[in-house]
């Protein structure tokens, strides 16, 4: 009995040593060794979102979620998702509360002053979504003016676009922290439209019959994973993992799962 207990203690100790070794075995340095702390705004189907499961805990899903998981596997890192406020997410990364941001984030010159971006991994445009039950006549942003309220996510490229293009024509903007709330309000009729990334809006309207994407706004945005400027090694490692993911067909497999029927853009095929 005593021997058995001693054996169990020794085994447990060995296990701790082994697990510690595994956790620290990655060659890439992160804030907590072996862990990739990834900030995101987990409100953005099909890129990062929670899926409810009857009788079970909701699960985190999405295109970004799978790409990051695959990237982390290749770098021997354990992923820890940190649900964050989108408007402050780049500052949070720059002040080293996070190792990476994976939130369908567009690479922009302004953001590049604060953080580094990986090579592009997705292309997207903006879009206008309206409530066709309440405003069947609105088919483009040209139909919007004084008296109209348009919902945008605080800190997003959609918010900047709307500020530049819609505010001058008299439209009022309503800023939200969560994109999901914008569509709930559009459904209720308290806002006239939503400006948001086209693929995300299309995913939402698929489950909301009153809502429709009526206009694609050609902004030609490239998504990149953001990394702190103080971790150049992680940026290089992330880019080389991303190269492999595109080259060996993993990217195409994940893309097809979240965007069925769409062709994988040539630039993301190995």
What is the closest distance, in whole angstroms, from the C-beta atom of residue 179 to ligand ARG in the complex?
Answer: 5
* Radius of gyration from C-alpha coordinates of the chain: 22
Binding region for ligand ARG (CB under 6 A) out of 36-44, 137-145, 227-235, 254-262:
36-44
86 touching ligand ARG, by CB under 6 A = yes
Size of the site for ligand ARG (CB under 6 A): 16
What is the closest distance, in whole angstroms, from the C-beta atom of residue 10 to ligand ARG in the complex?
Answer: 47
What is the closest distance, in whole angstroms, from the C-beta atom of residue 174 to ligand ARG in the complex?
Answer: 16
User: Residue from 26, 37, 44, 245 that binds ligand ARG (CB under 6 A)?
Assistant: 44
- In 3D space, the residue among 124, 125, 172 whose CA is nearest the CA of residue 151 turns out to be 172
What is the closest distance, in whole angstroms, from the C-beta atom of residue 197 to ligand ARG in the complex?
Answer: 5
Query: Residue 26 or residue 49: which is nearer to ligand ARG going by CB?
Result: 49
Sign of CA dihedral 256, 261, 262, 264: positive
Beta strands in 33-154 (DSSP E): 35-40, 49-53, 56-61, 78-83, 100-101, 116-117, 122-131, 149-153
| Footprint (CB under 6 A) of ligand ARG, residues 102-131 | 103-106
48 touching ligand ARG, by CB under 6 A = yes
User: Residue from 41, 116, 118, 215 that binds ligand ARG (CB under 6 A)?
Assistant: 41
Omega of the bond leading into 46 within 30 degrees of 0 (cis): yes
How far apart are the two ends of the chain, measured CA to CA in Å? 59
Place of tokens 């702190």: 228
156 touching ligand ARG, by CB under 6 A = yes
Euclidean distance between CA atoms 155 and 216, whole angstroms: 20
Place of tokens 């069925």: 260
Per-residue tokens: 173: 């903007």
66 touching ligand ARG, by CB under 6 A = no
179 touching ligand ARG, by CB under 6 A = yes
Q: What is the largest CA-CA distance in the chain?
A: 82
* Side-chain-side CA neighbours of residue 96 (13 Å): 8
Binding site for ligand ARG (CB under 6 A): 40-41, 43-44, 48, 86, 103-106, 153, 156-157, 179, 197, 221
């Amino acid at each position: 009995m005593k021997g058995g207990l001693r054996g169990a203690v020794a085994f447990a100790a060995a296990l701790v040593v082994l697990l510690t070794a595994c956790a620290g075995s990655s060659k890439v340095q992160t804030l907590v060794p072996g862990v990739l702390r990834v900030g995101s705004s987990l409100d953005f189907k099909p890129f990062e979102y929670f899926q409810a499961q009857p009788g079970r805990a909701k699960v985190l899903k999405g295109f970004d979620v799978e790409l990051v998981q695959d990237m982390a596997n290749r770098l021997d890192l354990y992923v820890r998702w940190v649900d964050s406020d989108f408007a402050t997410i780049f500052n949070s990364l720059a002040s080293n509360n996070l190792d990476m941001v994976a939130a369908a984030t567009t690479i922009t010159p302004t953001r590049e002053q604060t953080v580094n971006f990986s090579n592009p991994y997705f292309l997207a445009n903006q879009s206008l979504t309206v409530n066709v039950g309440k405003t069947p006549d609105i088919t483009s942003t040209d139909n919007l003016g004084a008296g109209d309220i348009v919902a945008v996510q605080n800190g997003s490229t959609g918010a900047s676009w709307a500020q530049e293009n819609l505010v001058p024509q008299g439209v009022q903007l309503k800023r939200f922290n969560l994109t999901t709330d914008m569509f709930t309000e559009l459904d209720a009729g308290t806002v006239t439209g939503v400006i948001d990334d086209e693929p995300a809006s299309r995913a939402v309207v698929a489950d909301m019959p009153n809502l429709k994407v009526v206009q694609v706004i050609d902004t030609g945005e490239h998504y990149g994973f953001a990394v702190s400027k103080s971790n150049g090694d992680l940026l290089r490692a992330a880019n080389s993992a991303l190269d492999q993911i595109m080259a060996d067909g993993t990217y195409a497999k994940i893309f097809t799962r979240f965007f069925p029927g769409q062709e994988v853009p040539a630039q993301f095929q190995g």
